Amino acid sequence: MTTTEIPNWLEQRAFLTPDRIAIKTETKEITFLQLHNHALKKANQLTYAGVKKNDVVAILMKNSIEMIEVIHALKYIGVITVLLNTKLSNQEIEWQLIDSKTNMLITEASFHEKTIHFDKNRLFIEDMPSLPEKAFEVEKTFSIEKTDTIMYTSGTTGQPKGVMQSYGNHWWSAIGSSLNLGLHQDDRWLAIVPFFHISGLSILYKSVIYGITAVIHEGFDAKKANDAIMKYGVTIVSVVSVTLTRMIEELAGRTYPKSFRCALLGGGPAPKPLLEACIEHQIPVFQTYGMTETASQVVTLSPEYSISKLGSAGKPLFPVQIKIERDGIIAEPNESGEIVVKGPNVSIGYFNRPDATSEAIKDGWLYTGDIGYVDDEGFLFVQDRRSDLIISGGENVYPAEIEAILLSHPHITEAGVTGVEDKQWGQVPIAFIKLAEEGILNTDDVIYFCEGKLARYKIPKSIYIVDTLPRNASNKLLRRKLIELIEG
Ligand code: ATP
Ligand code: MG
C-alpha cells in the first residue's frame, strides 16, 4: 500500500470496533459490524444489477439506514456517487443526472414521479431485498486522489456546479474537525441535516472514521431533536440557523445537559439575535463557515469567543490556510476582500467544467466568491457573496447586513435585499420582506426602524411587502430573482 491509500473506512471500522453502535434511529440501532454486513450484501446485489467499478451512480433518497448502507456499498465497489437533493424539481434532477453522466439512479418509490424520465436505469430501494447477489472484488483501500462523491452546489448564485469531492477531501475534513472539536469515545452526533448536503454526509463519514454513533432522524422535528439531546446522549448536532432557532423555542427555558458539547452552526450567515440567544441559554454554539467545495467546515469559532468575537465565523481548522485578497493583493487586517482558502479538503474542481474550475481554483487556492475580512487577531468575518455586493455612491453595501437588521424586527419573518440602478448613486438597495401577520407594519414603519441602525446610504430606498421570497432547493434566498417580484 502506498501512503496515498487509506483502508476502506467501514470495513476497517467494523474490524476495529465491531460492536459499537454505528447508527441509531428512533426505532432501531445497528452496530458497525452489522452495517458492514448490510453494505456488503447491498454491494453484491448492486453488482448483480450491473453496477461496476468507476461507474457513476446517483442516489435520490431521504435520510435512512438503507441510504447509508447504499452510500457505503457504492464505495465497496469503487463507484463515484452523486448525491441529489430531494427537493429539486423534475427538470433539475434530469439536468444533474445528465450533467454528471450518471449510469444508474437509486431512489425510493415516493420519488417515482420525480424520476420518471430516468426509468430505464432506475432502481427502487424497496425492490432491493428481492435482488439476487453476485460476488465482486471489494475495494480494500481508498485512494485519496480518487473522486468519491459528486455533490452539486446549491445554485444560489447561478446554475449548480458538480463538485468532485475526493476520498482525501472527506478524510481531511473529518480529521480537521476532530483536531478542533476533539474526539470523545461516547460522542453521538445527531444528523437532522440531509445526507445529500455536505453537512449531513460528513457526519456519516465521521461516524465510521471516529467510531462514534450517528443518530439520524428522517426529517427535522424540534421536539425530537431536543429529546435526542436531553434523553438519548447526543453530544454534537449540526444545525442551520432556522433549525437551531426552532430548537431553542421548543426548549422553552430548559437547559441542555452538560454532556451536550457542540451545536455546529453553518450553511449561511448566523443572525446576531440567535447567537445572543445561545449565550443566554448556555448553548455551546460553534459558528462555522464552509461550502460544498471544501467538503464541509474550513473555519470555526469556539464558544469561548462567542461573546468577544460575536458574529465571527472563527479561525481556520488546523489543515486549512486562509487569506483575504483585494485586487490580487493580500488585504490588511480589517480590510474586506475575497475569502480565499487552501487545504487538503479543497476539491480538485467541478465535474466536466474546466473553465469554472480554473476560474475558482488557482495553485490550490479556492476563490470562494465570498467577501469578508480577518481582524487583527486572525478571526474571519464573512460579509456577503461578491456577486450580491451593491456599490452605492462608491460605498460597499452588503445585503446580508441590511437583511440582518430587518430580521431583528419582531414582526419581520423573512427579508431579502438587492440593488437597483440609480441615476444619482449608481446603485441603491431595495428590500423585500415577509411579515408575521398581514398589515402589522407598513413600509414607513420599516424605514423608521432602520434609521439609526444603518447608515443613510444603507437604508433601503424602497420596501416591498411580499408573501414569499424566491428560494432554491436548499432553502437559500435567491437574491438574483428578487427583482422579478416587481418586474411582473
Ligand atoms: P452556488 O455556489 O451554486 O451559488 P452555494 O454557494 O449557496 O451555491 P453551498 O456550497 O451549499 O452552495 O453554500 C456555501 C456558501 O454558503 C458559502 O460560499 C457562503 O456564501 C455561505 N455560507 C456558509 N457558511 C457561512 C457563514 N458562516 N456565514 C456566511 N455565509 C456562509
Ligand atoms: Mg458557492
* First-to-final CA distance of the chain: 62
pLDDT, mean of residues 201-223: 96
* Rounded distance between C-alpha atoms, residue 312 and residue 269, angstroms: 10
Phi and psi at residue 304, to the nearest 5°: -65, -15
Phi and psi at residue 195, to the nearest 5°: -70, -15
Residue 249's contacts (CB-CB under 8 Å, 6 or more residues apart) are 222
Identify the CATH number of the domain defined by range 389-487.
3.30.300.30
The pLDDT tens digits of the residues spanning 424-480 come to: 999 999 999 999 999 999 999 999 999 999 999 999 999 999 999 999 988 899 999
pLDDT, mean of residues 279-306: 95
CB distance 160 to ligand 1 below 6 Å: yes
Is this prediction's ipTM beyond 0.95?
yes
Q: Are 142 and 9 in contact, with CB atoms under 8 Å apart?
A: yes
* Rounded distance between C-alpha atoms, residue 56 and residue 73, angstroms: 13
- For residue 78, the SS3 value is coil
When comparing pLDDT for 119 and 47, which is higher? Answer: 47
With a cut of 90, say whether residue 219 has pLDDT above it.
Answer: no
pLDDT of the residue at 2: 60
pLDDT of the residue at 218: 82
Q: Is the dihedral of CA 368, 208, 83, 40 positive or negative?
A: positive
Domain boundaries, the chain: 5-383, 389-487
The pLDDT tens digits of the residues spanning 11-41 come to: 999 999 999 999 999 999 999 999 999 999 9
- 429 pairs with which residues across the strands? 419
H-run or E-run covering 223: helix 222-230
Helix, strand, coil percent content, the chain, rounded in steps of 5: 35, 30, 35
Residue of 85, 92, 96, 153 to mutate, ligand 1, most atoms within 8 A of C-beta = 153
CB distance 172 to ligand 1 below 6 Å: no
pLDDT confidence bin for 245, thresholds 50/70/90? very high
pLDDT of the residue at 165: 98
DSSP 8-state code for residue 270:
P
pLDDT of the residue at 488: 64
Q: Is the dihedral of CA 6, 8, 9, 15 positive or negative?
A: negative
pLDDT, mean of residues 213-236: 96
Phi and psi at residue 176, to the nearest 5°: -60, -40
The pLDDT tens digits of the residues spanning 347-369 come to: 999 999 999 999 999 999 999 99
Q: What is the mean pLDDT of the chain?
A: 96
pLDDT of the residue at 120: 81
What atom in ligand 1 is closest to the CA of residue 472?
Answer: 7
Closest CA to 227 of 200, 247, 207: 247
Residue of 156, 380, 398, 471 to mutate, ligand 1, most atoms within 8 A of C-beta = 156
The pLDDT tens digits of the residues spanning 365-418 come to: 999 999 999 999 999 999 999 999 999 999 999 999 999 999 999 999 999 999
pLDDT, mean of residues 266-286: 91
* Rounded distance between C-alpha atoms, residue 435 and residue 467, angstroms: 8
Tell how strand 315-316 and strand 21-24 pair up: unpaired
- For residue 52, the SS3 value is coil
* Rounded distance between C-alpha atoms, residue 423 and residue 24, angstroms: 60
Q: Is the dihedral of CA 402, 403, 405, 411 positive or negative?
A: positive
pLDDT of the residue at 21: 98
Amino acid of residue 220:
F
CB distance 368 to ligand 1 below 6 Å: yes
**CATH H superfamily, domain 5-383:** ANL, N-terminal domain (3.40.50.12780)
Residue of 83, 96, 149, 154 to mutate, ligand 1, most atoms within 8 A of C-beta = 154
- For residue 261, the SS3 value is coil
* Rounded distance between C-alpha atoms, residue 322 and residue 240, angstroms: 23
pLDDT of the residue at 1: 52
CB distance 383 to ligand 1 below 6 Å: no
With a cut of 90, say whether residue 270 has pLDDT above it.
Answer: no
Closest CA to 385 of 369, 397, 396: 369
Q: Are 235 and 261 in contact, with CB atoms under 8 Å apart?
A: yes
The pLDDT tens digits of the residues spanning 138-186 come to: 999 999 999 999 999 999 988 899 999 999 999 999 999 999 999 999 9
Ligand 2 mean position, distance from CA 156 (Å): 7
Q: Is the dihedral of CA 171, 176, 179, 182 positive or negative?
A: negative
Half-sphere exposure of residue 17, counting CA atoms within 13 Å on the CB side? Answer: 15
Phi and psi at residue 283, to the nearest 5°: -95, 125
What atom in ligand 1 is closest to the CA of residue 265?
Answer: 27
The pLDDT tens digits of the residues spanning 66-93 come to: 999 999 999 999 999 999 999 999 999 9
CB distance 296 to ligand 1 below 6 Å: no
Ligand 2 mean position, distance from CA 434 (Å): 25
pLDDT of the residue at 463: 97
Phi and psi at residue 342, to the nearest 5°: -140, 145
As separate numbers, helices (DSSP H) first and strands (DSSP E) second, the chain gives 13, 29
